[in-house]
Structures are given as structure tokens and as C-alpha cells.
Structure 1
Amino acid sequence: MQLEKTLQTLCSLPAVSGFEEQAARTVCALLEPYCDSVTVDRNGNVMGYRSCGRENAKTILLDAHLDQIGFVVTEVLEDGFLRFAPVGGVDPRMLLAGEVTILAEQPLYGVIACLPPHLLKAGEQDKAVPVNRMLIDTGLTDAKSRIRVGTPIVFGQQPVALAGGQYCSKCLDDRAGVAAILLALDRLQQENSGLHCNIAVLFSAQEEVTGLGAQTGAFAVQPEYAIAVDVTHGKTPDGPSDGVFELGSGAAIGVGPNLHRGLTQQLIRTAKAYDIAHSLEVMEGNTGTNAWTMQIVAHGIATALLSIPEKYMHTPVEVVQLSDVEAVADLMAAFLRTFDGEVRG
């Protein structure tokens, strides 16, 4: 598996929360070579299963969310202008003059309109425009016949490789996590490693708005263990120094009351044993990830969290280091290679 090519494919798929079905079909095809069965459920979750062939074997679930932040059309105006609302955590400060794709029957190009600085009144330059006052300009004279209220919209930027092994794209939160799971499964397949536990895979829907996908998907599987894979904040010169991680520092292993101590410690021991780059991310409460949702499903699931450092989260230009995605994949593969379904504290 070529990681950069897989990321390009994944990040090109539109999957605004609640509108994941189109992307799910493509992701199914990427997952099928590694699983005995792959399905898409009624909520848009992609679910795969690989049996180890052992009687009474326990199951570990690998989760990364498939959905992305975006927008939805709320009104179609004259002269090709649209009003819209955010879906998920969108920062209005970085929207003006942005490029978007309107996911009508045929995808359409649009730009988020903005006044040039010459026309702004005194004091307006430093004020953020609320989303409900923004417009998307499509330039279409027949917009009302081609675009319906409720149509999803995604950022228009395309993936691009940066210098130093970094990768920039929209929705790396959490397509980088999806890629890490696919890469881990590819590692196991290339090694032809025998497994001692069953592996379930969940590429979940609606993490950015409700957590519905992780909750219903985990309930359908009801595994003994789960590992959520997501992104965490990467360090930048203009950002905080605490609670952020250098790109290139490897997998961030979550540590906190939301996360199962024994499973977490076993992942840490695996990283050390195989010399996999990693750091510890202390999370004193809600992790803001599917780990928070999955741990209380059914009778409770022992859950751990692996994160990929990412700059500029929830923007059109999210950035990760490819080696960090590989570190998370290597850690999962090394863990699954020897995990017998028993956690030792």
C-alpha cells in the first residue's frame, strides 16, 4: 500500500457528516482485501471483519471516523448566490474567499464571497463575519434549478504533498486515521501473520456532530476491546506549547480516565519493544474522540486512543507528517501481531 496515494484517494472523497454514503462505497473497496466481509450499515458506517479462526477468540475493534466538517445549503438566492450553515466545528475566520464544492447532482464550484478591503468601513477589518451573513457565489444564472436546500458542501482544496514528508489537505481529520488502519492491516497481510484475536474495523459516520456512527457501530460488534484512531494538535510557532505535539514525533498514545489503563499500558510497552516513535498525551476527561463514545457501549468496552499530530485542525489546509501516520500503523500492527485477547496491566 502506498500511503500518499491512499491519502490522496481518501481526502478526495466528499463525506460531510450525515452524507457519508458516496465515500463509504469507495472505502469499502479499499478495505475489502484485508477482511473476510465488509458492509455499509444504515447509518453510513463502513464495517469490516477479519476472523482469526480460533474458537472463542476475543475481538478488538479499530475505529477511525469517515466524516468531515462541511456545510449545507439553507437558501438559494438570485444570481447564483447561496446561504449556508456549518456542519461540525467550522471557524468562520478562515472561510471568506475560500473555494468550495457544492455536491449537487453534478458537483459545482463556488467561492465564499467577501468584500474587498477598499469597501470595508473603519473597524470592520478586525471583525469576523458570522457564517449566517456569508454567501457562496456560484455564478450560475440557473442555480435555483440545479441546487436544492439541504445540499452538502465541502472545502474545494485538493491534497498536496509538502516538503519534508508533510502532507496537506482538507479532512485529514480523520482520513489520516482511516489510512493508518488500512496501512496496519496491509502490514499484517504482507507479513502473513497469524492472529490470536478477531479484528473488526469501523470507519464511522457522524463523529463531527453526534458520535452516532461509533455508538451504533460498536454496539453492533460489541467487542471486548477497541482502539480509536484520530488526530491531535500539532505544534506551530504561533500556538501553545502545552498539549501539542511536534510533527514527526510519532504516535500520540492517550492516557487518562476515559481510556483503559491495561490496554493503554500494553500499547506503550509495544511501542517501546519495537522502537516505534511515540509520546504520551494526557487527557484528563472527555477526549473529544470516538473513544469517549465507545467505552460505554453495551456492557462497556476497554478502549484506547492513538492520535496523529496535525496542524491547522478543522481548516481546509490540515497538515500531517507521513511518518506519524506510519508510526500509528506500525504500532497497531505490532500490537495485533501478538495480542492474544488478554490485557496485562
Structure 2
Amino acid sequence: MSQIPDLDIDLLRSLCLTPGAPGSETLVRELVLDQIKDYVDHVETDPLGNLVAIKKGRNPGKVLVAAHMDEISFIITHIDPDGFAKFHTLGGFDPKTLTSQRVIVHGKEDVLGVIGSKPIHLMSPEERQKAPKLKDYFIDFGMSADRVKALVQIGDKVTRERDLVELGDCVSTKSLDNRISVFILIETLKRMATPAVDFYAVFTVQEEVGLRGATTVTRKINPDFGFGLDTTIANDLPGSSEAEYITKLGGGAAVKIMDSSVITDSRMVRFMEDVAKRNKIPTQREILTGGGTDTAAIQRSGDGAIVGCVSIPTRHIHSVVEMCHKGDIDHAISLLQHCLEELDQFSHDWA
């Protein structure tokens, strides 16, 4: 049995618990900047809010690695006369995961609330059989309407409230999508020596609402190579056949073959797997039939780039109990680090 790595859990917890709804990533960006500023040659924030850190390489060329800072969240759309708030999603949600959750509304001050819905005791037999819908939920602040309206207004962002816990060989919390990738990119910068080419470590914004940050920043940098860094589904659960797993927790870092937004470059897949084999890094292949990542924006923007993606297997994705295996996290750091350090060995020849 392989040894479970000693990860900086305190940093990971801070990243996951720091609020960062799409378009409101300031606090996460400040935390990341504090962690990386001593490990890069230059760092800047672009007009959209992407944090761009540059580490000079040994050879000509540019590689961009993107990890998005934003988390799936909500936005307040209405406050009724009794002080209950309605909301809309920022990113993809399965409504059934919202039942009985705590949230934080980032208004004039942070306000804790709970998501409520009609009690089952009052539902008709027909209502009990229906899947919940977003419109069935509201936020209850436990305070008077006047107090709510003094603190909360339409347009305020809402994030979920859930601490990080260690479960066996895993970590579980909200927003591992995609703070686990932010963590991996930070740790890669800390561990690595000199990259093969100029390395642009980009912590992007607004991925969950359409890859917006990655699209603009890639257009400006116009890299030769690119890597997405994001979570993927580990459906290795009761009731699922092996064909439905996508990836498996503890199976190693995942090398993306495709998702609904990108087909990665076959030369890059070959390079990543060769690097993993040389350095004895466990990997598994990923084909995700739904969903997409910043990898697609990197591939399509500018002149187009030769892209790959390091994916982190994640159970219970887009919920408050997302789960990643510590070994997979460590292997993802190692794979990305070695790919960046050995990119001068990449072969442009088609198989």
C-alpha cells in the first residue's frame, strides 16, 4: 500500500473556505498572491481579475497553466416582505444538493443563512414524487425583514458554508472544484526548479460561468503549450458500473483525453504519459462526456495551443462534500511539475 503524502492541509482549508463567487474572486486572489510571490519572477493582475505569475524558463517558448479561482455560487434576485431571499445559480447545481444547507450572503457584511423549502409534512403526494427545482428554495436569515434589507440587497453573491474534514485517505469539503487545482498550482510553483520554457501560472476568474477569464488571458499571452488544471468526476460508487466511473479515487492523476468542450492534443497525451512513466507517477485516462474546463479556452484562443489537462478525480462533485484522495493530489503536483520541467523533450511529431 502506497504511503499517504503529507499535504499542507491548512493551506487547502484556507483556499476552500475563502469565498470567491464568479466575478468576486478578490479574497482568493489575495491569498494566492501571498503564497506565490516569492516563487515567481513576475506577477500581475489583469483587468478582468486573472492572476498571472511568470517563472522564466531555460528555453524560448511559453506554456500556460490555468486553474480557476471561482466556485459555484448564487446571486440574490429577490427579497420578499418577510425577509426571505430568492436566488439564482452562478454555475451548475443539482437542486437536490441544496436541501438544508447553510450559506453566506456577502452583503454589507457577511450574513449566515439556511436554505429552506416546503416541509415534507405539507407536501401533497404528487409534490413528494417530483424532483426539487431551484424555485422551490429560499434563504432564511432568522431575522426581521428590516434587518435583512439593511444588510442584503439584490445582486449580492452567496457562497456555501462547509468546513474541510479529513476522511481516511481523503479530504472532503465544498469548492474542491476548483480550489484543489489552485492548491496544486501553488504547490507546483513551490516545488519546481526551472521550467523548460517560460511558465505562465494563471489563476483564472469566471470559469464556472463560461471560461471567461481563461479566454481573455490566453488571447493576450498566446502560449505555445497549455495545460488545464481542474477536477473531474470519480463515479466509482455503489450502483455504478466500471464503464460509468470516468475516473477512480486513488487511481492517480488523470490525463484528459476529451470532455464536451475539448479534445486534447494526442502528442501532449503521449508526452504526459511518457513523463509519468519515467517518473513513476500513477495516472489514469479521463474521458468526460459532459462538462468542460479552461483547457478549451487555452486551445482555442490566440493562435491556438498544444494542450493537455491534469484532472483530479473527485467524488460528489458540485456538492458541499466533494472528496479527493490525497495520493491523487500529490501525484497531480508531481505530474505537472515534471511536465513543465521536461517540456523541452516534447515531440511535435504525430504518432
TM-score, structure 2 length as denominator?
A: 0.91
The yes-or-no answer on 1:115 pairing with 2:118 is yes
Identity %: 27
2:46 alignment partner in structure 1: 41
Deviation, structure 1 residue 179: 1.1
Q: Distance in 2 between matches of 1:126 and 1:76?
A: 29
**1:216 aligned residue:** 216
- For 2:71 and 2:54, locate their aligned partners in 1 and report how far apart those are by CA, in whole Å: 24
Whether the 8 Å CA contact 1:183–1:326 is kept in 2: the answer is no
Per-residue deviation at 1:341?
Answer: 7.0
Corresponding residue for 1:66? 69
In structure 2, the CA distance between the partners of 1:13 and 1:280, relative to structure 1 (3 Å rule), is same
User: 1:125 is aligned with what amino acid?
Assistant: R
Residue matched to 1:237: 238
330-339 vs 81-90, which moves further: 330-339
Aligned to 1:251: 253
Q: In structure 2, how many angstroms separate the alpha carbons of the residues matched to 1:250 and 1:315?
A: 22
Instruction: State which drifts further: 27-36 or 271-280.
Output: 27-36
State the alpha-carbon separation in 2 of the partners of residues 272 and 199 from structure 1.
23
The alpha-carbon deviation at position 118 of structure 1 amounts to 2.1
Letter in 2 for 1:111: V
Distance 1:283 1:128 in 2: 25
Partner of 1:307, secondary structure, is: strand
Could you report, residue by residue, the CA deviation over 1:231-256 in whole angstroms, capped at 9, with x for unpaired residues? 11112113453252211111110124
1:277 to 273, 282, 289: 282
The change in CA–CA distance for 1:113 and 1:287 in structure 2 (over 3 A counts) is closer
Residue 311 (structure 2) pairs with residue 307 (structure 1): yes
How many residue pairs match? The answer is 337
Alignment-derived partner of residue 194 in structure 2: 194
Alignment partner for residue 340 of structure 2, among 336, 339, 343?
A: 336
- Whole-angstrom distance in 2 between the partners of 1:303 and 1:140: 51
**Residue 194 of structure 1: how far off its partner (Å):** 3.5
Matched with 2:139 is 136
Q: Is the 8 A contact 1:245 1:309 kept in 2?
A: yes
- Aligned equivalent of 2:16: 11
Q: Secondary structure at the match of 2:60?
A: coil
1:35-184 correspondence runs (5 A): 35-52=40-57, 54=58, 57-141=60-144, 142-163=147-168, 165-184=169-188
Contact 1:50 1:199 in 2 (8 A): yes
Name the CA shift for 1:87/1:240 in 2 (closer, same or farther; >3 Å).
farther
CA distance in 1, matches of 2:170, 2:292: 24
User: What is the alpha-carbon distance in structure 1 between the residues aligned to residue 196 and residue 286 of structure 2?
Assistant: 28
Checking the alignment, whether the CA contact within 8 Å between 1:258 and 1:291 is kept in structure 2 is no
Q: CA deviation at 1:344?
A: 4.4
